[in-house]
Chain A
């Protein structure tokens, strides 16, 4: 089954404690992206990757890092999480960037206290 898998689904952490949210897709997609969703603000892009070892900033990259060492994986790293990073996070992948449909993971609800 074609899917994008994120882990964990729920996470509560404390300010400053580094964390990683994993994302994996099984569709051999070149394009992957991370979004955060906040009430009233819709989805905002954090980072995206056009291919292995190619990443670029989205609209709200501050406080986040990503890496793309393999085609299937695109982890999101919060080196020093802060309460304003409390949000619902989505990973997405597609075969041709913004020219084709994107497949989304089920989301990771992160709370930073």
Chain B
């Protein structure tokens, strides 16, 4: 079953614009992670935010977590054509040892 659900499913923006995508989940979590996947390739870890954190930055990435709303957002600032990829959120629960992935957001950055 999918714990995380990303929104929107697809996003098309111009280079230089910001891209925002959201992730909602259903049960309590230990942490939430974001991954990027270039077409048909393996996933690359972007950022991990723990349940007691509200915001985290890494380069042009900003992630927020609202545990009361069971939601997270990923912001990519000043997007580049190389940011074209699918982005997935994944949740880790306090009990158990697995990451549960959402369906992903496909981002197209047009030059």
Q: Which residues of A line the B interface, CB within 8 A?
A: 4, 31, 33, 35, 40-45, 48, 50, 56, 58-59, 88, 90, 92, 97-107, 109
Contact = CB atoms under 8 A, between A and B. Distances in A.
A70 B24 CA distance: 37
A40 B104 CA distance: 9
Contacts of B30: 98-99
Contacts of A97: 92, 97-98
B102 A106 contact: no
A45 B42 contact: no
Contacts of B82: none
A109 B90 CA distance: 22
A40 B103 contact: yes
B84 to A, nearest CB: 18
Contacts of A43: 43, 88, 90, 101
Interface of B: 1-2, 30-31, 33, 35, 40-45, 48, 88, 90, 92-93, 96-104
A45 B100 contact: yes
A48 B98 contact: yes
Contact of B102 (A42, A92, A107): A42
A107 B40 contact: yes
B103 A41 contact: yes
A98 B98 contact: yes
B44 A99 contact: no
Given A59-B98, A98-B97, 16 more contacts: A33-B98, A41-B103, A45-B100, A48-B97, A48-B98, A50-B97, A56-B97, A97-B92, A98-B30, A99-B31, A101-B33, A102-B45, A102-B99, A104-B35, A107-B40, A107-B42
26 contacts: A4-B42, A31-B97, A33-B98, A35-B101, A40-B103, A41-B103, A42-B2, A42-B104, A44-B101, A45-B98, A48-B97, A58-B98, A59-B1, A90-B42, A92-B43, A97-B92, A97-B97, A98-B31, A98-B92, A100-B48, A102-B35, A102-B99, A103-B45, A104-B42, A104-B43, A107-B42
A107 to B, nearest CB: 6
